[in-house]
Amino acid sequence: MSVLICGSLAYDNIMVFPERFKDHILPDKTHMINVAFLVPELHRNFGGTAGNIAYNLQQLGGEPLPMATVGPDFDEYARHLERLDINQDYVRCLGDHWTAQAYITTDLDDNQITAFHPGAMNEAHCQPVPEDRDIAFGIVSPDGKQAMLDHSEQFREAGIPHIFDPGQGLPLFSGDELKRMIENADWLAVNSYEWEMLKKKTGWAHEDITSRLSGGLVITLGGDGSELWTGDGKTHIPAVKPAKITDPTGCGDAYRAGLLFGLERGWDPADACRLGSVIGALKIAESGPQNHDFTPEEVAERFESEFDRPLPQ
């Protein structure tokens, strides 16, 4: 069955700064910051949360349905999705907006500075969650603010289980708005930085959130793995060591694809998180969010070698 991925489709312009940001930013001058970073490496990639999650989910053998709004400059990306055989039924082109664009600079410590032009993404609320499609699971990932609010409500009304993944869109929402979207969802997925921000905005701790979710809370910790919080308590999921560390862009989306794949199939949630760790490790070894290749067979072998248990069926 299909997984509806509400989120962005964007062009990612990824630049590598071969030094460390901290060596060029004066802490006592941040109120008047004026810094230029020379970036000899520039890569333009297909990205956006909906595209990245769909890319990984398709390679796993899932049935992703990305839902996003784009501009007339989307043709190259559309051909990319066609080559991957990813369904574009809910990719809507708006003639008077550009496709979203991200400008991401990464330093030697894998810190990132991102500028993002939303473009057509800001009109994503024009598409509602379809009720006439065989959708087994969904995700509300970073998108236009109104779209995230609307899609959260629509998933709940349609009775479609889903993950709420506020991501870099988290600062857009008030504490009350975040609470409502959490209560609508079955799962909440955040990274460690987003978790601290979410706690501050909502005033909710782990137990407050897990008591409101039928599934649970997943907090990714980068190289320290991830945490799965459910009504039964906390489970630590170890990180999978990558072949090399090249580019962290899109690692969170890769993890969420593995999580969605397992949850849609009714796996033990810890195994779904373990699969997310495997896919994240495969992604970070390659530059860009959609340039890593793998087969389901390769993933199953890696999963068993890392966790000493077979990949669930």
Catalytic residues: 253
76: number of Cβ within 10 Å? 11
The CA-atom distances, in angstroms, between 59 and each of 16, 63, 172, 312 are 27, 10, 32, 17
- Specify the DSSP class assigned to residue 191: E
Q: How far apart are the C-alpha atoms of 108 and 36, rounded to whole Å?
A: 16
Token pair listed for 59: 């390679």
Distances (CA, A) of 250 to 195, 282, 286: 18, 11, 10
Distances (CA, A) of 231 to 182, 187, 195: 15, 12, 18
**167 closest CA partner among 187, 193, 132, 201:** 193
